[in-house]
Amino acid sequence: MIFQSFSFLLYFLPTVVFLYYVTPTNNLRNIVLIISSLIFYAWGNPLWAILLLGSSIVDFAIAQKIHNLNSQEEEKIHRQKKFLLLVSIIFNVGLLAFFKYWDWIIGLISQTTKIDLTALQHHIPLPPAISFYTFETLSYTIDIYRRQFRPTKNFIDYLTFISFFPKLVAGPIKRAHELLPQLVKFRKRISSRALELAFFMICWGLFKKLVFADNLGHLVNRCRENIATPGVGLLLAVAFTFQLYCDFSAYADIARGTARLFAIRLRRNFLTPYLSTNPVEFFQRWNITLSSWIRDYIYIPLGGSRRGILRNIFNIYFTMLIFGLWHGAGIFFAMYGLYSATVIIFYRLVPIDRLLVKFLGKIGKILSMPIIFSFIIFGMMIFWVKTPEDFFAFSNSFFQSIKVVSGLVESENFFKLGYILLLLTLPILVTDILGYRKNREFIDLYIGLKTLPKIFLYLTMFYLTLFFASRGSYDFIYFQF
Amino acid sequence: MISFISNSKKFLLNYTRSLKAVFIALAIIFSIELSISHLLKNHDIPQKIYKENLLKLTPLKNDPYPEYTIAYKNSVFLHEEPDLLIVGDSSGLNGAKPLTIERYLSEKKVINAACCANANFDGYLAVATHFFQNSKNIKYLLLYITPYGLPSGVQKKFGNDFGEELLGVYAKPWHYIYELPSVYFRKSILDKTYRYKAPQDAAGNYENMNYFIKQTTGSDENYIDFIKKSRGWIPRIRDNKFQEMLRGECGPQLTENLYDEKSGKPTLIKTLTKFKNLTDKYNAKLVIIFNPVVCKLSPQVYPVIAELDKFKEKNPDVIIPFGLIHTYNEEYFGNQNHLNPEGAEKYSIEIGEKLSEVGL
């Protein structure tokens, strides 16, 4: 089921909220959430729900076992714990590897060795959300192994944590210590203020998805069709960068708003990322839950920046490679990770933002934003391309943009497409700047508004959606990951 | 539960207050829509809206042919009040000539609203629902499909995204949102904003179709003018896929489309039942017609025929005049799934005669 469908908004969500609040006990409420989450998830294919259940049961059992061993200190017990953790990691990574990477790896081996192994490919479509819930179950087991978290003995609570439908398909990736404590206690009815914010979050998310993300998606297609035109590569890069942001942050907004209807708070996943001044800040503001997961469970255990420069460089490359590959099986996802690592290291060596701030103060900070943004859009294009031919066509057109802007090459299409791009990105940029000034997202500012601006916002969202939204929406991009 | 209800009055009041801005915005929207509806009372709002609310109208891109054709037909034939409505895939678009069929039905009006297989059966159903909702006169719904376009085959080839979109815009309970009076201005607002005029109603957008028309009629009449006159029929001349037609005995290429890819079960009866339910709801009769094929009846297609028989047994009032396989010589085809103008004329005569025999 998808958030932007009428069946979700008009039937599914109101029914679940009603059933949830008429249910008297916490256990029953969580059962309502589990059942509705499984229906939500299994809408496309019931087998996916079985996979989710299976994975949850295995990790719940292993985590429980590790916790039971936590009270004992002997060396033998420690080895047992390690073994159990290893089983959990192998199981989860194996699941991900089987569904997400197996066919790709076999294809690569076949290509490089010229031995036809394609018969070994399973061609099973990737179950949605598997990358998200696998990371959640993994973090649960690891946290318990590290004694950072006490597991719940109640499987219902645990399954609610894993399957909770607002964040199931495309995050935010939740840690057990953030969500489970909210699920084990009886949630009071939400306040009227929380309801108001939840409603706005859902509306704003839908608006961003249907009006901006989808139309930017159309624009990306137009740019792709005109990629031979000089300069269009640049427009394509900016359009896709904003499409991805609008699409993914829209999902996060709807997810957070929906969760709030059940008096559950989900962590934000974005914080005006395109106004960052350096790459590290960007990853602290972009897909925050994945970035912090990778940092806490890969980068820091590898040693982070504590083991010398060379080891640190290796750690950054390795961590970002995993970050890239998490998005999918493809050489360009890996390249995206490696490119991001290179930019991070480059900024360590030449801290452009700090130098600019040092010499130019506030203006320097503002100037550092478009500089890192230009690195970001190039990275996004590596993320976007599927084949080397795509990449070369894009790069060729991208680097010719200077000639077009300076008038050396004429390109009518560039300006036509550029105008539409401006139309679709400017509102997002303006609302982000408004949020950035208060170190928040635009949606957080809503509650502080007076009634009149709120009415204006709703009217704008309604009519722009009615006129500008396509009747058939694209799926959320992150569903494929 | 009891506490929930007893406390709900107080909470509801609080909640209502918190959504004050939403309610006021809704009231303003209601007033705007009412005013537009009043101001445009002399204009045919639904006709324009039905044409434009389906279209994507994305920047710098013409809408694809199926969207455009369906939107256009649903709009332009809205007030035609047909007695017999034809829906289905492109074999129907090219195979059923309303003006020819009408000659055999005394004073009955026929409209061909069929378009394209990528609309899928949900799409055909959405179009039919749209016409039933807007026309009280329809007594017969004719579902016209090619035997190669059975539900599972169409699903496998095209998916159902477009079908669901059509259901959303025309048939689902929320389709009224797309029909708000302000949608009347949608295209002009988009054209102005994008500074690009979507070439609505302009000739030359669908060169193939215009070419077919030119080859058939010898005139430069554009697609839209032609479709208005022909009541929805479009000619199809022989194309380069003609050589790939399946000749000899009808076989697995047809039968394999009977079974669902995932469950392995036949889906024909389930799909046809949706159409039967629709006609029952509007007191109309369902007619099912399969496009002719070049191949000949063979035991290999019996499983499909058996499914059809089962459906007929359950629904004896459904009219299936030609059965599944109706073989025509290949000279009557543009390609495997489409009759050429001569074939369409011949088959439309047969359809007219058959329908008149059963009392239409």
Q: B68-111: per-residue pLDDT in tens? A: 888 888 888 888 889 999 999 999 999 999 999 999 988 889 99
* Mutation site for B-interface testing, chosen from A191, A197, A450, A462 by largest number of B Cβ within 10 Å: A462
- With beta carbons less than 8 A apart as the criterion, state whether A168 and A129 touch: yes
List, as ranges, residues 3-42 from B with C-beta within 8 Å of A: 4, 11, 14-15, 17-22, 24-25, 28-29
Is B28's CB within 8 Å of A419's CB? no
- The mean per-residue pLDDT over the stretch A387-394 comes to 86
From CA B148, how far away is CA B291, in angstroms rounded?
Answer: 9
pLDDT for residue A460 is more than 90? yes
* Mutation site for A-interface testing, chosen from B5, B58, B165 by largest number of A Cβ within 10 Å: B58
With an 8 Å Cβ cutoff, is A296 touching chain B? no
Length of chain A, in residues: 481
Neighbours of A348 (CB within 10 A): 16
Highest mean pLDDT among A245-254, B166-175, B212-221: A245-254
- The mean per-residue pLDDT over the stretch B182-190 comes to 86
CA-closest candidate to residue B45, choices B199, B200, B179: B179
- With beta carbons less than 8 A apart as the criterion, state whether B226 and B273 touch: no
Any idea what DSSP says for residue A8? I
With an 8 Å Cβ cutoff, is B194 touching chain A? yes
Residue B201 has a pLDDT of 42
Q: How far is A192 from chain B (nearest CA, A)?
A: 5
Q: Flag whether the pTM goes above 0.90.
A: no
Residue in B with minimal Cα distance to A47: B262
Confidence of residue B204 (pLDDT cuts 50, 70, 90): very low
pLDDT for residue B3 is more than 60? no
From CA B360, how far away is CA B198, in angstroms rounded?
Answer: 41
Confidence of residue B203 (pLDDT cuts 50, 70, 90): very low
SS3 B360: coil
Half-sphere exposure of B137 (CA within 13 A, CB side): 14
Rounded alpha-carbon distances, angstroms, from residue A317 to A302, A376, B134, B332: 11, 17, 63, 65
Residue B47 has a pLDDT of 67
From CA A438, how far away is CA A244, in angstroms rounded?
Answer: 24
- With beta carbons less than 8 A apart as the criterion, state whether A287 and A269 touch: yes
pLDDT for residue A316 is more than 80? yes
- With beta carbons less than 8 A apart as the criterion, state whether A52 and A163 touch: yes
Give per-residue burial for B181-218: e unless 16+ CB within 10 Å, then b.
bbbbbbbebbeeebebebebeeeebbeebbebbbebee
Confidence of residue A270 (pLDDT cuts 50, 70, 90): very high
Is B25's CB within 8 Å of A462's CB? yes
Neighbours of B82 (CB within 10 A): 24
Helix axes A155-163, A26-42, angle to 10 degrees: 40
Any idea what DSSP says for residue B338? E
Using a CB-CB cut-off of 8 Å, the residues of chain B touching A420 are 59-60, 194
Using a CB-CB cut-off of 8 Å, the residues of chain A touching B194 are 420, 423
List the single residue in B56, B61, B186 with the smallest CB-CB distance to A222.
B61
Q: How far is B315 from chain A (nearest CA, A)?
A: 31
Q: Which tens digits make up the pLDDT trace of B270-293? A: 999 999 999 999 999 999 999 999
Q: Which tens digits make up the pLDDT trace of B135-162? A: 888 999 999 999 999 998 888 888 888 8
Half-sphere exposure of B45 (CA within 13 A, CB side): 18
Q: If residue B110 lies in a helix (H) or strand (E), which one and from where to where?
A: strand B110-112
Is the bond preceding B299 in cis, omega lying within 30 degrees of 0?
no
Complex ipTM over 0.85 = no
pLDDT above 90 as % of chain B = 36
Give all strands of the β-sheet with B84-88 in edge-to-edge order. Answer: B110-112, B84-88, B140-145, B285-290
- The mean per-residue pLDDT over the stretch A345-365 comes to 92
pLDDT for residue A124 is more than 90? no
Is B53's CB within 8 Å of A471's CB? yes
Helix axes A232-261, A13-22, angle to 10 degrees: 30
